[in-house]
Amino acid sequence: MGDKAQTHPGAAGRARAADHPASIRNVVLVGHSGSGKTTLVEALALTAGAVNRAGRVEDGGTVSDHDDIEHRQQRSVQLSLVPVEWDGIKVNVIDTPGYADFVGELRAGLRAADAALFVVSASDGVDGSTRMVWEECQAVGMPRAIVVTHLESARADFEEMTRVCAEAFGADDPDAVLPLYLPLRGPEGPDGHAPVTGLVGLLSQKLFDYSTGERKESEPGADQLPDIEQARDRLIEGIIAESEDETLMDRYLGGERVDVKTLVQDLERAVARGTFFPVLAAAPAAEGARQGLGTVELLALVTGGFPTPFEHPMPGVTTIGGETRELKACDPDGPLVAEVVKTSSDPYVGRISLVRVFSGTLRPDETVHVSGHGLTDRGHEDHDVDEKVGALSTPFGKQQRPVAHAVAGDLVSVAKLGRAETGDTLSAKDDPLLMEPWRMPDPLLPLAIQAHSKADEDKLSQGLSRLVAEDPTMRLEQNQDTHQVVLWCLGEAHADVALERLRSRYGVQVDVVPHKVPLRETFAVRAAGRGRHVKQSGGHGQYAICEIEVEPLPGGSGIEFVDKVVGGAVPRQFIPSVEKGVRAQAARGVAAGYPLIDVRITLLDGKAHSVDSSDAAFQTAGALALREAAAGARIHLLEPVSEVGVLVPDDYVGPVMSDLSSRRGRVLGTEQVGSGRTLIRAEVPEFEIGRYAIDLRSLSHGTARFDRAYARHEPMPPQIAERVREQAGESP
């Protein structure tokens, strides 16, 4: 595998490569920010002939062209697709952001792919978030391989990094994480560092020299054979351990020589099954070179060892009514089922949807049914509409190359789907279907915004709807309690990108304002109040007097109104007016301007006038009575408390629990979840967890995650309540 040089076919070959699912490979690149994913994509494109030596595509631009936001962020913030061809196979290379704030783009890439390449920097190692993604892939059986980059670093040690990867990724079987090639180093430079100039193929026992910019094959010297044999023996044993031929290991240990062809076939099957994870090395091409180190071997692994779309399990599919549909996996002639994995906007073309076709064949200018994704809680409306597909194309950098159709297993860009959003299903209009959505991370960092000017206010609603259509990890909230517009994001970088997109793409300037927590008020003790509204101004006056009693109720009781008037002191027709008045005042608050809850308000007595009493007068009297009762009583400010679950590696349990306690949290308990992870359950005031998404990431080095759910409102500590009242302009 990978030991023979390949040639790239040119544009004509690329057009033919995706006519059948068997000639497609979908691979997603996974790794932390700075691990070298995008550089590796460029190197693969150069080796496959998709770009020239200057890094330019045939008709202008570069494979790594990013939008202005990515240039300003100096990091990838969105998924990108780079299709290349190798040995007659179309390889859809999906590059994903490595920064945790854009994990939604990573999840979309995992959904669209059939296998994953984990890119690990030889100088930085394996971080916790990369381990977590590996576990996600392992849970669904996704085939994986590991690529070690940054071998040019003086601190790079391929052998040590292979050991680290086996320890990090091969917990169940370290012998399933083994190198296929070893680096070949050149002479030491003045700094004492020997650069990597080629690779040693362990199965073929050949040397592949990249030092001239062209891959050249040769035989190893006698002094190199002992080291090769030792690593080769371990690799062969690892491959044979995964072989379907149960007699092969005994025969090998008995001295039988296993031919390379058999080993390669067993290796390819084990990789495709997701039971063996080869480690390779790669580096970008030197200036003027045609091939980057290890890129030929990597492309050969992808095309020969990674599975075809036929082997990708079909996600759950139902009818719109919820009935399960059993579909043949990746059938080009089956019912159309495709999914939008990314939505973007082009200033000239409009909305562009990147679609993975799971069944059937998608063609331009046909009408499809767009089914919604059930994310209405995030501001994404459900869809159940028919739309006409625009042009189909293959993205490459900033370009879109037209294609005639997209068969099951392929990825394609679709223009002018005005209603489709990320996560939506495309199906035949006469047979509408809905795919089970993939798991989206919950956005837990609030960003309260307001329009900068009246002109921005007019455009804000449309800009926000287009923003959330592109990003299902973002939740739009119109908070009815605080009257704020809140964008819930995954982190600070995610929030920065959202603001920049609003400004640069949609022409909306917004200001960030402090996020308000929805507080409540309640009576701490029983109190009484008298409301007197008497005015005489010629003609009909206003006359209403009512006396009430207010008593606290248990949390969650709301507001109860009780009528205990006797003898008709308040005429029956005005009892509802008093109730309406006190409820309106309760909604406005009685101390610091927050809604009043969990009280019983009892109307005891009152007076009316035969001419001057009215509905409006008794509403006003009811409100005055409640305010007078509050003026003489102790009022509690209530803050919302959330149930929080933090899933954290065991090494960070102590610091996380201490941090929760410092946030006035009450730890309710812990439980082991799998190997080496603990779930901490706690109750924490929402005042204390506004930035918890950021702080927890820092505290756990990106290895922990949490969820939250509203539990109840409860009294705020007096010193904090006093500060809130002062900020609200009220005296304590």
pLDDT at 437: 85
More confident residue, 98 or 67: 98
pTM, 2 dp: 0.85
Two structure tokens written together for 260: 């390379």
Three-state secondary structure call for residue 632 = coil
Q: Where are the domains of the chain?
A: 10-184+277-311, 317-435, 449-513, 520-633, 637-727
Q: How far apart are CA 282 and CA 151, in angstroms?
A: 8
Res. 592: pLDDT tops 90: no
User: Regarding predicted confidence, which is higher, 19 or 24?
Assistant: 24
308 against 726, higher pLDDT: 308
Select from 3.30.70.240, 3.40.50.300, 2.40.50.140, 3.20.20.70 the CATH code of 637-727: 3.30.70.240
In CATH, the number for domain 449-513 is 3.30.70.870
Using the predicted structure, report yes or no on whether residue 39 has a pLDDT greater than 50.
Answer: yes
Given this structure, which CATH class describes domain 317-435?
A: mainly beta
Written as six digits, the tokens of 296 are 């030929």
- Residue 119: the pLDDT is 95
CA 339 to chain centre: 16
Residue with the larger pLDDT of the pair 133 and 349: 133
Q: Is there a contact between 408 and 309 (Cβ–Cβ < 8 Å)? A: yes
Q: Is the pLDDT of residue 378 over 80?
A: no
**How do residues 486-512 score in pLDDT, each as one tens digit?**
999 999 999 999 999 999 988 999 999
Query: For the range 244-252, what are the long-range contacts, defined as Cβ-Cβ under 8 Å and sequence gap of 24 or more?
Result: 244/269
442-477 per-position pLDDT tens digit: 899 999 999 999 999 989 998 998 888 888 889 999
- Asked if 339 and 314 touch (Cβ cutoff 8 Å), the reply is no
pLDDT in tens, 317-340: 999 888 999 999 899 999 999 999
Q: Is the pLDDT of residue 730 over 60?
A: no
Does the pLDDT at position 53 exceed 60? Answer: no
Q: Helices 615-631 and 575-588 sit at what angle, rounded to 10 degrees?
A: 50
The confidence score (pLDDT) of residue 6 equals 43
Encode pLDDT of 399-439 as tens digits. 788 999 999 999 999 988 888 888 899 999 999 999 988 88
Q: Which fold has domain 10-184+277-311?
A: Rossmann fold (3.40.50)
Q: Are 309 and 26 in contact (CB under 8 A)?
A: yes
Torsion of the alpha carbons at 126, 129, 130 and 132, rounded to the nearest 10? 120
* Interval 281-292 mean pLDDT: 80
Query: Predicted confidence band at 724 (pLDDT cuts at 50, 70, 90)?
Result: confident
| Tokens 């990674």, located at residue | 306
Can 449-513 and 520-633 be said to share one CATH topology?
no
**Residue 52 banded pLDDT, cuts 50, 70, 90:** low
Nearest in space to 180 (alpha carbons), one of 351, 297, 37 = 297
Measured from the Cβ of residue 330, the count of other Cβ atoms closer than 10 Å reads 24
Alpha-carbon distances, residue 701 vs 124, 138, 318, 649 (angstroms): 14, 22, 40, 10
The stretch 528-536 carries a mean pLDDT of 93
Q: What pLDDT shows up at residue 50?
A: 82
pLDDT over 60 at 57, yes or no:
no
For 169-172, the CB contacts below 8 A with 24+ separation are 169/118, 169/126, 169/131, 169/134, 169/144, 169/277, 170/277, 171/675
Give pLDDT, residue 646.
97
CB 331 within 8 A of CB 382: no
For the cut 50, the answer to whether the pLDDT of residue 4 exceeds it is no
Q: Which helix (H) or strand (E) holds 732?
A: none
> 520-633: what fold?
Ribosomal Protein S5; domain 2 (3.30.230)
Tokens in use for 194? Answer: 């020997």
Q: How many angstroms separate the CA atoms of 637 and 631, rounded?
A: 14
Sort residue 567 into left (φ over 0), alpha (ψ -120 to 50) or beta.
left
Q: Tell me what the mean pLDDT of segment 7-19 comes to.
A: 47
pLDDT (0 to 100) of residue 552: 96
Q: How many helices (H) and strands (E) would you count in the chain? A: 17, 36
- Mean of the pLDDT values across residues 351-378? 86
Give 648-668 pLDDT, tens digit per residue: 999 999 999 999 999 999 999
Which among 119, 100, 145, 192 has a CA at the least distance from the CA of 445? 100
Q: Is 364 helix (H, G, I), strand (E, B) or coil?
A: coil
Nearest alpha-carbon partner for 631 in 642, 640, 623, 639:
623
